[in-house]
Amino acid sequence: MEKHVVVIYPHPDDEAFGAAGTIAQFRAEGVPVTYLCGTLGEMGRNMGAPPFANRESLPMIRKQELQNACNVLDIDLKMLGYRDKTLEFEDRQEIAKRLKTMLEEIKPSLVITHYPGHAVHPDHNALGAAAVEAVGLMDPSIRPTVWAQAITNSFMEDLGKPDIINDISPYFEKKMDTIKAHKSQADGILGNFKKANKLAKDVQDAAKQRLGIERFYIWEF
């Protein structure tokens, strides 16, 4: 069993859509989980229709949603304080050194992050690369395992079969509750789920299949 898991993603809701089921499973096993969240997602385009936020109010809305989501998952939250959509322009080595210091304090046995170059968004790729570099800088005797999550459409063709294929069906409702906590970003997707509930069971199963499996690659150092 893991002794402590650290999740490193750049945006509020990355943990919800990406790894909430796996996180919930670790918590059910009594494993502490800490989320190092890179930004507040303040440059997100979703302001609602009619608008529920503006550019000034969105950061605080998303921060509160993130805190709510972490409460749902029962995990610790540490904000890294970077600006949304700028991580690719930050000094990667500086971020890596900062993450290394934090990881050495927390002493996790496992780190979950995005797979650099296979995570769609520049922020995902940049923070994933810094996280991997941070772990690589650690003394091998205390270095945690890294699970890297690839989310491009072609990741299977590019990288092969993931090392970890986690069916999170027992924790699917917890994952959905975590997604719902990010109300400003999740309403559209939740709307699709509500429609699916009125359609055939195979449509519901397809929706559950899309979010009910979480896949990761073990990073080789």
Q: What is the mean pLDDT of residues 104-122?
A: 98
7 close to 112: Cβ distance less than 8 angstroms: yes
Average pLDDT, the chain: 89
- DSSP string for residues in 55-124: TTTHHHHHHHHHHHHHHHHT-EEEE--PPTT-GGGS-HHHHHHHHHHHHHHH--SEEEEE-TTSSSSHHH
At residue 50, the pLDDT reads 42
Give the neighbor-by-neighbor strand order of the sheet with 5-9.
76-79, 33-37, 5-9, 110-114, 145-149, 213-218, 164-167
Give the CATH fold of the 5-218 domain: Rossmann fold (3.40.50)
Q: pLDDT tens-digit profile of 9-18?
A: 999 999 999 9
Taking the CA of residue 99 as centre, how many other CA atoms within 13 Å lie in the half-sphere pointing to its CB? 36
> What are the structural domain ranges in the chain?
5-218
At residue 45, the pLDDT reads 56
Q: What is the mean pLDDT of residues 16-45?
A: 92
